[in-house]
Amino acid sequence: MSNSTSPSLASPAPPISAPPRPADVGSLRRSWRRGMTPPPNLDVVQWAERYRKLSKESSNGGKFFVSRVEVARGPMLWATEPGVSKITLMACTQLLKTTLIENVIGRFAHVDPCPMLGVFPKDDAAETFSKDRLAPMIRDTKVLTDLFGEAKSRDAGATLSHKQFPGGHITLVGANSPTNLAMRPIRLLVCDEIDKYPLSAGGEGPPIDLAEERQAEFKANSLTVVACSPTIAGRSAIEASYEESDQRKAFVRCPHPGCGAWQSLEWERVRFEKDEAGKIDTHTARYECEACERPWTEAQRLVALKRIEWRQTRSFTCCGEPQTPERWAPLAHGVRRALCRHCGGQAVPNDHAGGVASKLYAPKQTIRETVTKFARALRRGPETLRTFFNTQLARTWKEGADAPDWHDVYARRDTYLSGTVCRAALILFAGVDVQKDRLEVGVWGFGRNRERWLVEHRVLPGPTNRPEVWADLEAMFEETWQHDAGAEMAVRDWGIDSSGFTAEVYAFVRSQGGRGNVHAVDGQDSYASAFLGVGAKDTTPAGKKLRRGLKTIRVGASFAKQELMGCLALQRPAEGNPFPAGFVHLPRDVPEDQVKQLTAEELVTHVTRGRTRREWVPIGGRRNEVLDCANYARGLAAMRGWDRWRELHWRDLEAALGIEQARPTIDEASLPPAVAAGTLAARNLQRRAVRRSRVNNRPMR
Interval 298-307 mean pLDDT: 95
Q: How confident is the model at residue 60 (pLDDT cuts 50, 70, 90)?
A: confident
Interval 33-53 mean pLDDT: 82
The DSSP secondary structure of 298-333, one letter per residue, reads HHHHHHHTTS-EEEE---EEETTEEE---EEPPPBT
The pLDDT value given to residue 682 = 64
pLDDT tens digit sequence for 512-535: 988 889 999 999 988 888 999 988
Res 2 pLDDT > 60: no
Residue 72 vs residues 251, 361, 535, 614: alpha-carbon distances, Å:
13, 10, 61, 40
C-alpha gyration radius of the chain:
36
Query: What integer best gives the mean pLDDT of the chain?
Result: 85
The pLDDT value given to residue 318 = 92
Q: How confident is the model at residue 694 (pLDDT cuts 50, 70, 90)?
A: low
Measured CA to CA, the distance from residue 156 to residue 27 in angstroms comes to 33
Task: Report which of residues 149 and 682 the model is more confident about.
Answer: 149
Instruction: Return the percentage of the chain with pLDDT > 70, whole number.
Output: 84
Interval 387-398 mean pLDDT: 90
* 16-30, 308-322, 459-473, 525-539: range with lowest mean pLDDT: 16-30
What's the order of all strands across the beta sheet hosting 551-556?
531-536, 551-556, 518-524, 493-497, 425-434, 438-447, 452-461, 584-585
Phi and psi at residue 522, to the nearest 5°: -120, 105
| Alpha helix segments (H runs only) across 454-493 | 467-476
Q: How confident is the model at residue 673 (pLDDT cuts 50, 70, 90)?
A: low
Q: Report helix, strand or coil for 626.
A: helix
Q: How confident is the model at residue 9 (pLDDT cuts 50, 70, 90)?
A: very low
Task: Report which of residues 223 and 515 the model is more confident about.
Answer: 223
Measured CA to CA, the distance from residue 605 to residue 615 in angstroms comes to 6
> Which uninterrupted H or E stretch holds 680?
helix 680-696
Q: Report helix, strand or coil for 99.
A: helix
Cβ-proximal residues to 469 (8 Å cutoff; 6+ apart), any chain: 438, 439, 460, 461, 462, 463
Res 194 pLDDT > 80: yes
pLDDT tens digit sequence for 123-144: 899 999 999 999 999 999 999 9
Q: How confident is the model at residue 38 (pLDDT cuts 50, 70, 90)?
A: low
* 39-43, 46-50, 107-111, 499-503: range with lowest mean pLDDT: 39-43
Res 380 pLDDT > 90: no
Q: How confident is the model at residue 154 (pLDDT cuts 50, 70, 90)?
A: very low
Res 700 pLDDT > 90: no
Measured CA to CA, the distance from residue 268 to residue 248 in angstroms comes to 19
> Which uninterrupted H or E stretch holds 137?
helix 135-140
Considering only CA atoms, which of 237, 273, 217 is closest in space to residue 119?
237
Cβ atoms of 291 and 284 within 8 Å: the answer is no
Measured CA to CA, the distance from residue 399 to residue 693 in angstroms comes to 63
Sign of CA dihedral 304, 307, 310, 313: negative
The pLDDT value given to residue 670 = 46
Count CB neighbours of 108 within 10 A. 23
pLDDT tens digit sequence for 86-100: 999 999 998 889 999
Measured CA to CA, the distance from residue 237 to residue 186 in angstroms comes to 22
Amino acid at 229: S
Res 337 pLDDT > 90: yes
Measured CA to CA, the distance from residue 403 to residue 568 in angstroms comes to 8
Residue 431 vs residues 124, 553, 679: alpha-carbon distances, Å:
45, 12, 62
Phi and psi at residue 300, to the nearest 5°: -65, -35
| CATH code of the domain occupying 417-589+625-652 | 3.30.420
The pLDDT value given to residue 683 = 64
Cβ atoms of 64 and 48 within 8 Å: the answer is yes
Sign of CA dihedral 458, 462, 463, 466: negative
The pLDDT value given to residue 671 = 45
> Which CATH superfamily hosts domain 40-244?
P-loop containing nucleotide triphosphate hydrolases (3.40.50.300)
Instruction: Return the percentage of the chain with pLDDT > 90, whole number.
Output: 58
Taking the CA atoms of residue 369, residue 373, residue 378 and residue 382 in that order, the dihedral angle to the nearest 10 degrees is -150
pLDDT tens digit sequence for 593-618: 999 999 988 887 665 555 557 788 88
Instruction: Give start-end residues of each CATH 3.40.50.300 domain in the chain.
Output: 40-244
CA within 13 Å, CB half, 163? 27
The pLDDT value given to residue 1 = 40
Interval 276-286 mean pLDDT: 90
